[in-house]
Each structure stands twice: as C-alpha cells, then as structure tokens.
Structure 1
Amino acid sequence: MDDDDWADVRTACRGLEPGSELETPVSGRRFTVERTGNDRIVVRFVDSGEERPLWREQFGVLVDQLEGSRVAVDDLQPGIEPYAAIVTLTESAGVSDGAIVADPDDAAGESPFLVPAVEARTSTERVRDDALLLASHLERVAEREPESLGTDPLTDLYVLASDVQHGADRLRRTARESLLERLGPNQELHGRFGTVRRTVRERRRPADDEAVFDALDERGVPREWVLGVDPEKLDVVVSVTDVPAADVYDVDETVYIQKTGVDEDEKYSRLQGLVDRIEELEGAEGEEFREELDEIEERLEEALSA
C-alpha cells in the first residue's frame, strides 16, 4: 500500500465521530478504532474488549485485490472483516450490490458498516443520556407547573419522561434478574440508596377444562357454576355475525397521550451540547462545582449512616 492510500485510511479512522463504532460485515461484531500508527491501526472489539492490530501490509493486499476485481461481502473471512469495514470508510472504496469495490460512483466514503455514535450507545448509556436531558429540561422549567408550560416544552417534557421511564424499566428488569441470582429466600441486600429483598408472588390461571371439571365432579360441584362467556369466542361471533357489538360489550373509553415519535438526532445533539458545557467547567468555577458535589455526597453519607 503506497503512502497516499495509507494516509487516506488513517485520515478516515481519525475522522470518525467520537463514540461511533464499526461492524464486521459478516459476523456483525462491533469494534472501535483505538489509535493509528505508522504501520498499524489498533481496534478493540466491543463484545470481548480484545485489542487487535490491523497491519498496513494487509490493507495493501486488500486494496490491490480491489483494483482488479470485486470482493463479495459474504465471502470475507473473519480475519479480513475489520480490514474491509475500515477500507469502506475511505473515498476510494465502498459497497455496491453486495460487494466491496474500488472507486464506486456513489458508495465511496459511505460505509454501511459504520454505526453512528447515537446508535452505538448501550441501553444503559441511553438511560443515562435521557436522564441527563430530562434533568436539563426540568432545570429550565423547574419553577413552573406542567399545565402552565407552552406546548413545545410540555411535549418535550412528556417525551423525555416517557423515554426515561421505559429505559429505566428495561434496566430494572435486567438488574432484577441478576439480583435474583444473588438473593436467597427471605434475604435482603442493602445498597447506598435502598434495600431489596426476594419476594414470591403467585399468579393463578385455570387448569385445562378436563382437569377443572374432574375436580368439580369429584366434589359434587355443578359445572354451571364456572361456565361463562369466552371473550375470544365472543370476538369471533361479533366479527362473523350480525350481532351488534354494543349489545354484548360494555365499553369504557380511556383517553391518553401516545408518544408516536422521537427525534434521536436532536436529542443527541442537545446531549453533546450539555457534555461540552460540563467539560468547559475549568479553573476556579470547575473546582467550586466539584467541591459542592463533594459536600453533597458527604451529607448523604452522614444521613445514610445515621
């Protein structure tokens, strides 16, 4: 690989958005570019944490192969996949009709194996980011009741609160499974912010009809006592006959707000602005801010240990 081609590869890697990832074309393994050198590019696989050097000579072999032919994506070997993903970042290669090609008209520099930072975040990171956005939004509207807000900030409040709720619920379910493995019967675990214990809740559902009828017959209980309308069968009857739904259903109407869309790009842009502002806290102002946080933490520690 000549110096110009190698410079293009290194430039493409250095130009990646912070937090973005690449995905191997066949196996779908995510990896990040850690650093570039004179003779290698070091990547780290997200699933294992393994770091692997990708050598300049191997990039040269792939580029030379592209000059004379197309390389089918499905034929890529595991060891070549990360090389191929990175090559498609450059302006001299891309993917067209399921193959990596040199000098494509439309695909150069538009790698399908690039995962933008906003999409590369883990579920935990998304909850953290949404919570940060919600906290920032609440800071701006803290002195006003929701009903007094304008339509736009009220909509944003609802969307952000909904995102935090759903993300936190998913995270809570994941934490619950791990905690169940660590908790024995009647055992409690104590954290800094609270206590949890293992609880058993029973939910009953009817056994099959034959088992139920046998149990009732054995004890002289009339079957008619447990027979009733089957909602699923009633739905079918209403659908295929002229029986009016109003005659067989009592309808309770509930009006609610449904979130129909989320602008993740706008959220991420706003989040980056918040991160930049936090990073700008330097010197005396930053030190004062950190001291305030330390004092709050100390007071919490004292309150929890009292």
Structure 2
Amino acid sequence: MPFSVSWHTLLDHADELADKATLVTPLTHTEFRLSDVQEHRIIIDYVQKDETRPLQREQFKTLFRRIQDEPTNEFELDRLPPDADPYAAVFSLHPRFEIDEDAGLIRESEDALGTQVLEDGTADSDGDEEPRQEPDLQVYSDALLLTDTLERHEMADLTDVETDALVNLYTSLSDVQRSADDLRKEIADVLLSRLHHDRPVSGQFGSVQRTSRRQRTLKDEETVLNALEAAGIDRDQVTSVDRDKVDDALEVTDLSESDLYEIETTEYVRKADVDEETKETRLQGLKDRLAASDEDNEEVQQLQAEIEELENRIEELTSFSSGTAYHTETQRG
C-alpha cells in the first residue's frame, strides 16, 4: 500500500478522534492531544507542558518506509530519533499499525489492535462520572488509617502530641512503609519490561529511568588466594581478621567483647505489636464514611456532624484528666 493512501487513512482517523482524547508516547510516556489535523502535518499539544508541536507528513513517511523495509514489517522503537516517539503514537491511530511496548516495537499488521489513546473523551459524554472504586491493596488501607490519624492531631509540634497518639502514628507509618515497599517492588518489576535504553519515562508526579547496579561477590577463598599468588601477590597482603572466628575465640577465652570490638549502643524505637482488630474496626468506619461522603446531601452532612460530635464526647470521657483539672471543674460547678 503506497504511503499516500496510508497517510489519508491516518488523517481520517485523526479527524474522528474526540477532542479530549489523550495519547501517550511509547518510550517516554509523555501525554499529548491533537489540536489540528492538516493536509501536510498534524499539530499536537503536550498535556504536562505549555508546548505545541507540528508533526510533519515527511517524517511520518520516513517512519512508514522504515517499517515496511523490515522483513517482518516491524521497527524497533529504540531506533527512533530523539523526541520522535509522538510520530509512533499518532501512527497507532491507523487501523493497520500498532505498538507493542513490551517488545519495544511498532508494526504493520492486518490484525492491529489498540492505540496509544489513554482517553477517548466519550466515557463522560452523558455527564455521569464512574463510581469511585476502592483498590484491593494493603497500602490503601494502611494509608487511609494514617491519613485519618494525621487529621486528628496537630502535627506542627510533635512534643505537644500525647504519647498514645505518637504510638498510633508510628505504627501506622511503619505499616504504610512496609506495604508501600511491597507494592513499589511489584510496580518496578513491571516497569523494567517497559523502559528502554535508559530513557527517562515521565508521569504527572515525576519520572523514572532504567538503571543498573554492579554487585561483586568474592569467589571461594582458595580460588582467590591461588589467583593472587599466581599474579605475585603474597597471601598475607590480602588476608584479614575473620569476624566469625573472632566470635568463636571469645567463647573459649577470658577476653571480653570490648577487648576486641569498638562498641557503640544506639537507642531506637521499633514496632512491637499491632492491634489488627482495632485497625479493622476503625478502617471499616472510615470506609463507610467515605462511601457516604456526598457534600451536597444535607442528611449525610447532618449524620457526619453527629458522628463527629459523638466521637468528641467519647474522646472527652476516655481521655486522661489530672486531679487538679477535675477539682477545678467541680469548684466552678
């Protein structure tokens, strides 16, 4: 199929795209929209930055030819020139071209599926918003409890916060950290399959980049020492005190630990226990309140006010009061 035919097919599909439709580039995951479709170019507007850019017909033609020059009609996205991935994203609007991010390819296919469109602008055409969904993730529950705890205390000066509140905050932060780290690792494993050639990939809150870390582990001692001796290095130059052997020696001698070790003691706080039952009860209450949080509903507003008043009364009745404060209130009465 000649390029001129493919080009006009692409223009037709670009014209039919909804005004609010957002495309995302396959390499840097930069979001943009089509602002104008012309005979010799397509104008795009970047979502996250105030920049308009024309994508020229001739550049689309070059990409088209490179795809067709390959025996499999596939072209590696890594071979695109810098800042050229918007061309690939727009090309995915054509019914015969698709992008395979996992394989890092753009290909021509009779059965091409999907596009780089994030939003087609039709989901909310009737004015209805999709219902809020609660993610089935541990970090969500932990973060919800932490948010509620933070909202209940004045955090400007931690020295003014009661000890039990600080304990709640500390345990909640610990739970969030653990569950967030677990989810972060899962996300990183998926991202690794989508990042190519150390190119940064941007999102609304920042960017990430594929990188590598070099780790070294010594081979067994005899192999290392023999190799060094063969290179003219004396064994005594590279051997050192073995900590495990020192600890074994301490068990059978009169030496104290301080005779052989520099000892520094550091005090720290660690989470000792978690009251899961209380957490679940509080969490369910928060979820119920979130589900009913319709600011325009007067009955819901009244119910929320009553709940807050009841919580305040419970807190007053169960909070610690000094004897002086008690007698002072009695005398006033």
Whichever of the two has the greater Rg, that structure is 2
Q: Which has the higher helix share?
A: 1
User: How does the TM-score come out when normalised to structure 2?
Assistant: 0.46
TM-score, normalising length from structure 1? Answer: 0.50
